[in-house]
Amino acid sequence: MNDYVSPIRPPAARPAPAMRPRAGEPFTTRDGRDALIRPIDPSDVDALRRAFARLTPDQVHQRVFHAMNELPERVARWMCNVDPDQTYAIVATDPDGAEIRGEARIHCDYAAAAAEFAIAIDPAWTSVGLGQALMTRLIDEARRRGMAEIWGDVLADNGAMIDLVTRLGFQRQRRADDATVVRAWRALE
């Protein structure tokens, strides 16, 4: 191969590599939009921050139980760099992987054989089956890891999440120490 470069003419610019979709499981929403469900990755920090910025103030409060204007970069890095022995975190992205449309995770407490869940869905992607798809995968992973139970605290006014966990067979009870919070749990066979 000839590596000679003309001193008169600069070398031709190489096109930027095309963004390739990451490996994952294809998913189609009830309204026909395509997504890719895959494990979260350390390179998802910027996309996770953009996804958080699209959440409504109510959704932010429902996810983190307080107001936040943005997801700090250090928190996003922590969320994207999970300890796979303790945490299972997945995202639903556009097919090209550029934008995160949903994020879900469990944190496993092996001593208690229980996994705590958390989930957030892009407001433009709610009520189309994405939340149920992500939660079903969390339940399956908790079961695969030998957990006896999956649970999460849900704000009592988070009707969408209350409906979701009810459809998926979770028990619910208001927390005695905070009536604004409902503990949702499900035994795993």
Q: Tens of pLDDT along the chain (189 residues)?
A: 444 444 444 444 433 333 444 578 999 999 999 999 999 999 999 999 999 888 876 766 566 555 566 788 998 999 999 999 999 999 999 999 999 999 999 999 999 999 999 999 999 999 999 999 999 999 999 999 999 999 999 989 889 999 999 999 999 999 888 888 899 999 997
Q: What is the pLDDT of residue 173?
A: 94
H/E/C letters for each residue in the chain?
CCCCCCCCCCCCCCCCCCCCCCCCEEEECCCCCEEEEEECCHHHHHHHHHHHHHCCHHHHHHHHCCCCCCCCHHHHHHHHCCCCCCEEEEEEECCCCCCEEEEEEEEEECCCCEEEEEEEECHHHCCCCHHHHHHHHHHHHHHHCCCCEEEEEEECCCHHHHHHHHHCCCEEEEECCEEEEEEEEEECC
Class of domain 25-187: alpha beta
Q: Order of strands, edge to edge, in the sheet holding 25-28? A: 25-28, 34-39, 87-93, 100-109, 114-121, 149-155, 178-187, 171-175
Burial of 12 (0-12, 13-18, 19+ CB in 10 A): exposed
From residue 7, give the alpha-carbon distance in Å to each of 4, 10, 11.
Answer: 9, 7, 9
Whole-number Å distance between alpha carbons of 79 and 161: 21
